[in-house]
Structure 1
Amino acid sequence: MMRVAVVDDEPLARRGVITRLQAHADTMLCGEYADGTAALNGLRDKVVDVVFLDVQMPDMNGLDVLAMLAPERRPKAILLTAHDCFAVRAFELDAVDYLLKPVDDVRFDEALQRTRTALRMPSASAEDVDGIVAIRRLSTKIGRRTCFIDTDDVEWIAADGDYALLHVGARSYPVRESLNRLSHLLDPQRFVRVHRSAIVRVDCIREMQPLTNRDAILLLREGTPVRVSRTYIDDLLARLHHNRG
């Protein structure tokens, strides 16, 4: 359950966020504040996982509220703003996303899902696999659109700087997640890390060619080669053996 606080000096804006939260059964409203000073005092006293936080408020702006909280008490933040010029400082203060006003419903849901991922919390797009919560869908931005990719369609994933590339057939989709985090969120029965820069879906592996240094090359269904590091070879062999059994 995500404990949520909402901070905005505009009553209608606060009500809009709270109304949208009611559609998410895994959220619980823990605080509602109309100014930065009240928010700072409230967030210092309460345990909050995520705060929807207006950036521009008369007495104290939202980024200053975050900066004045001790790092260990600072919740994940989804910023509410009419401008995107605060992004750099926002992410320095552990903001996971920002929503431009007026808030779009799809972007609202995407921001909540990104927060769940950051907190490693289950959601409506996750399922329990042997006691482990595994995500079933990932979201990606394509221009102004948000697209949702079913993990059932993902064949392999490659690291690409601060992003990961989901390979689906001949197309690839960037998601703002590290490969390390994805390796913990995906179904371990279906996906396996094979390299510091690659994850593959086990049932997409067509062939494995060993190399002399105990590395290997995987060939996927369409002939795509993916290198396996010797660091991960034992986990891969165990997963292949388990699936065959």
Structure 2
Amino acid sequence: MKTDAIAAVAAQRIRTLIVDDEPLARRGLELRLAEHADIEIVGQYGDGAAAVAAVHALRPDLMLLDVQMPGVDGFGTLRNIPAAEMPLVIFVTAYDHYAIRAFETSAVDYLLKPVEDSRLHQALARVRQTRAQHAAKGHCARLLGLLGQLSGRPLDLHEALQPDFLEQLRREDKLAVRDGQRTVKVDLACIRWIDAAGDYMCIHTDGDTPQGNTIILRATMRELEQQLDPQRFPRIHRSTIVNARRVVELRPHTNGESFLRLDCGQELKLSRTHRDKLAVLI
């Protein structure tokens, strides 16, 4: 997963600010950065106040920041940027005695002027790796959030990685489906069958009428299969899952297909490719 994350992030543009009070220094960095196809310079500024405003307006991914500038210096500039807006930072300065303070601010790297091409390459490689790590952490957090919604409680990474976690979800008495900003929970015992309709899933359940109720959600067959016990909810067609406990009759059809009749009277087709499910249906 780490390799995939690095490749995916590397393919993205790294939106970059150059902040230095010396125009020649900014121009030199601009020329060197032009050799890196994934670097997109979105702004150049000569003082800290302008840099803070630019970070707020442009939300760059990276900032190459001089330490010594008139007015607000590089460290003061960072103190004025909210944590939620903070880009990755490479300090660029003529003085090496600022290095410890630079790394205390969690800077990615620290370059001495005149900037050597090899050191700039190295610093940008660290930027790419750091972005990939952040992307992987963000993906992990989103996945844990989704699994937490499905299980109905917060989860940590250790718990979610347990081999029996998905099996525990399957043993729950409810099916939890994420639909946009909401999570819909359906009693498993009430489900008659589930079928696909384009990008949506139709969950047919018991209801106040003989026809029951149909819950329509934007989901995929795979997402539902991962939660459901295949012994209790086998897939009988590429677009149909059935509650095996609701099947009351099985009738052979042509070409190896069969028809299932449910306790509500609904008939469903068991396709040839899913004939192996007969064992849990009979």
Q: TM-score, normalised by structure 1?
A: 0.48
* Higher strand proportion: 1
* Higher helix proportion: 2
Q: TM-score, normalised by structure 2?
A: 0.42
Q: Which has the larger radius of gyration?
A: 2
